[in-house]
Amino acid sequence: MTEEVVRANGVELCVETFGSPEDAAVLLIAGMTGSMDNWGDGFCAGLAARGRFVIRYDHRDTGRSVAYPPGEPGYTGRDLAEDAVGVLDALGVARAHVVGLSMGGGIGQVLALDHPDRVATLTLVATSPVVPTPHELPPPAPSLAAYFAAGGTPEPDWTSRESVVEYLVAGNRPFLGTHPVDEDAARALAGRVFDRSPNIAGSNNHVHAAGGGESRSRLADVVAPTLVAHGELDPLFPLAHGEALVAEIPGAILLVLPGTGHELPAAVWGLFTDRLVEHTA
């Protein structure tokens, strides 16, 4: 694997690839506040071993990509969507299989609608429609709604590695399903995120920049073959959100991830990778 900082959509973004550029490209787009690290090394390496050129990257304000002052994002959700196209341009990739998680799934929908020539297939994980649909979508689970109402996880001392690691691990717990959690691995990942993010407090800028990423098109206009992978226990976007995507996108297929919350845990990597390899064949 190789990691480099490239010029994409007018800014510097950090990109890492796995596998051979001769293979079909798979672009992984992380969720809100998430860096490329949220796509596990083992998942990326396993997908590359099955004949895919895997691309992951740090969103603005995460990892080694361009950073802005906390609370002052110099970009919108639209910019985050165009960044994904910029990454493909920087790597000389004309067309990719796009895989988006949560906010990354919203970006994937925008790409499929506004840049259909760049999207070979679309895979939406733990996400919700970004354009209006006739479906009445359920709110977050009561436990998660209570967590939000209480203010979420208190902000850490952003200069303290230990404090940030505990903040990241604790902030993830309310979103999980029933799969056992490897606490040591979770803390190791949080530590890596801290170490790779000189301006880690700025990752919360995504909350302020989320608007502006919507498309004026309809999901019925998506022409890319689409796989919707959704946790059966997703507390943020209950399963009905994934079912709405399948109902609206022509020919879309639903993969329900058992025991899974708003996440893509290692416990389902095998199942998900099998279906993704098949979908991107």
- Annotated active-site residue in 65, 234, 241, 279: 234
Write out pLDDT tens, residues 195-205: 999 999 998 99
**How far apart are the C-alpha atoms of 117 and 95, rounded to whole Å?**
7
Confirm whether 262 is a catalytic residue.
yes
pLDDT of residue 25: 98
Domain ranges across the chain: 2-137+200-279
* The pair of three-digit structure tokens given for residue 279, joined into one six-digit string: 């979908």
Confirm whether 102 is a catalytic residue.
yes
- Annotated active-site residue in 102, 128, 197, 203: 102
Residue 277 has pLDDT above 70, yes or no: yes
Stretch 16-25: mean pLDDT, rounded? 97
pLDDT of residue 221: 95
1 SS3 class: coil
Place of tokens 């977050």: 140
178 SS3 class: coil
Topology at the third CATH level for domain 2-137+200-279? Rossmann fold (3.40.50)
Confirm whether 160 is a catalytic residue.
no
**% pLDDT > 70, the chain:** 97
Concatenated DSSP letters of 109-160: HHHHHH-GGGEEEEEEES---SS--SS------HHHHHHHHTTSSPP--TT-
Write out pLDDT tens, residues 104-147: 999 999 999 999 999 999 999 999 999 888 899 999 999 999 99
CB atoms within 10 A of CB 21: 11
